[in-house]
Amino acid sequence: MKQHSSNSIYGTIASGRSFLWAVCALALLLLAGCGGNPSTGEEDGLITVDVTKSYPKKELILQDLFDIEYVPLETTDEMITAGQIQFIGEKYMIFKNLGRTDGEIFVFDRQGKAIRKINRLGQGGEEYLNILGFDYDAKADELFVNSHYLKKIQVYDLEGNYKRGFDYLEGVQYDPIKILDQDRLIVFDSYFNVDEPDEKRDCFLILSRQDGHLLERVAIPYEEKKSVVIAKRDKSGKLAGLWGIRNTNLIPYQDGWLLIEPSADTLYTYSATQGLKPVIVRTPSVQELNPEVYLFPTIFTDRYVFMQAVERSFNFGVDEDVPRVNLVYDKAERTAFECEVINRDFEGTPVNLWFAHRVIMEFNGDEIAFATRLETPDLVDAYKEGQLSGRLQEIASTLHEEDNPVIMIAKYKK
């Protein structure tokens, strides 16, 4: 993913309410300063990050942060997959292809051996029209498939047998859907009304796993709704283009999930045991910035929190993406820095730990921090150039360019 070199992400606070915000920000920083850094710190477990500050740069080594495992996916005539990771557990790894209308679900064991392919694509009552994503509960053997074309969740076992299904709530779109506990799902309502982008609503919903009925709307406090979609209109006002910031809004955190409401200045976690709990405060207020700068955390370790500051700015026909700054908060030093993480096994290749929607997989557990796929043609070329080492070099020596990808799994160090 290209990172913009634009400096506009470090823009100034909008002048209209800058004085009021300065007073509020000063009070907050004085409180945070009681225990640490006056501009970025922790107080009562809350992390505070200034998204407009220019931080020093630092390089970290992937293997110093996590225990790394490489799993080559077996390639057979029936099991050829792009390997978009949806679930990794103790026994199984489950993947989909990249296209939403591809109905194939691929099941491998934990060592990468091909088990089976499931395809229930169709228009029948027990089928799905597309796969936006899915989550799996190994204990209950329930695979929740999100078909947003059908506006429905279909539930199967890992043999592909239909169990049940339920419709979306009216006027919402689920993306993503995640298992909260044995009885409930937590989903993000990603519905966007281009004619009313500032419509205020609660986007995090707790649903029954059995029939999908609404159990709770999780209310995240904020002042005004800030959209993550950028619209382009022609001179007549007709819609001419859309670009969305596609970082994920649900990130695993301890025994629950981090809920990211871009319009809010405080980020909260939600769990079955503790309910809603604040964990991160971003400054300045997103309500005061123009263009807005959002903060999207991704991975939490004992020492580091990986986050991305994302500016809501996009020039259609020119930019490839919105401006992004990769940040890491160091809980030991109580400060943040701009960061690059290097894979030592792949001759200094950077690893993207920040762009959660496409790279960081969401595992609600205490072992796996993230996983990503390594494309086989890249590994074959790197092997020929002598750029690989260790287990990755050994795996690449047996690969052909048409083989399934290799899955890199990063585990928390114990």
Written in H, E and C, the secondary structure of the chain is CCCCCCCHHHCCECHHHHHHHHHHHHHHHHHHCCCCCCCCEEECCEEEEECCCCCCEEEEEHHHHEEEEEEECCCCCCCCCCCEEEEECCCEEEEECCCCCCCEEEEEECCCCEEEEEECECCCCCCECCCCEEEEECCCCEEEEEECCCCEEEEECCCCCEEEEEECCCCCCEEEEEECCCCEEEEEECCCCCCCCCCCCCCEEEEECCCCCEEEEECCCCCCCCCCEEEEECCCCCEEEEEECCCCCEEEECCEEEECCCCCCEEEEEECCCEEEEEEEEECCHHHECCCEEEEEEEECCCEEEEEEEECCCCCCCCCCCCEEEEEEECCCCEEEEEEEEEHHHCCEEECCCCCCCCCCCCCCCCEEEEEEECHHHHHHHHHCCCCCHHHHHHHCCCCCCCCCEEEEEEECC
Residue 23 has pLDDT above 50, yes or no: no
Highest average pLDDT, of 34-43, 47-56, 90-99, comes from 47-56
Q: Of residues 261 and 193, which shows the higher confidence score?
A: 261
Q: What pLDDT does 44 receive?
A: 61
Question: Residue 27: which pLDDT band, with cuts at 50, 70 and 90?
Answer: very low
Residue 31 has pLDDT above 50, yes or no: no
Q: What pLDDT does 196 receive?
A: 75
Q: For residue range 61-76, what is the model confidence (pLDDT) as tens digits?
A: 999 999 999 999 999 9
Residue 18 has pLDDT above 80, yes or no: no
Q: Of residues 27 and 147, which shows the higher confidence score?
A: 147
Q: What pLDDT does 198 receive?
A: 74
Range in 103-107, 162-166, 230-234, 398-402 the model is least confident about: 230-234
Q: What pLDDT does 214 receive?
A: 98
Averaged confidence pLDDT in the chain: 87
Q: What is the pTM of this model?
A: 0.86
Q: For residue range 347-397, what is the model confidence (pLDDT) as tens digits?
A: 978 998 876 545 555 555 678 999 999 999 999 999 999 999 999 999 999
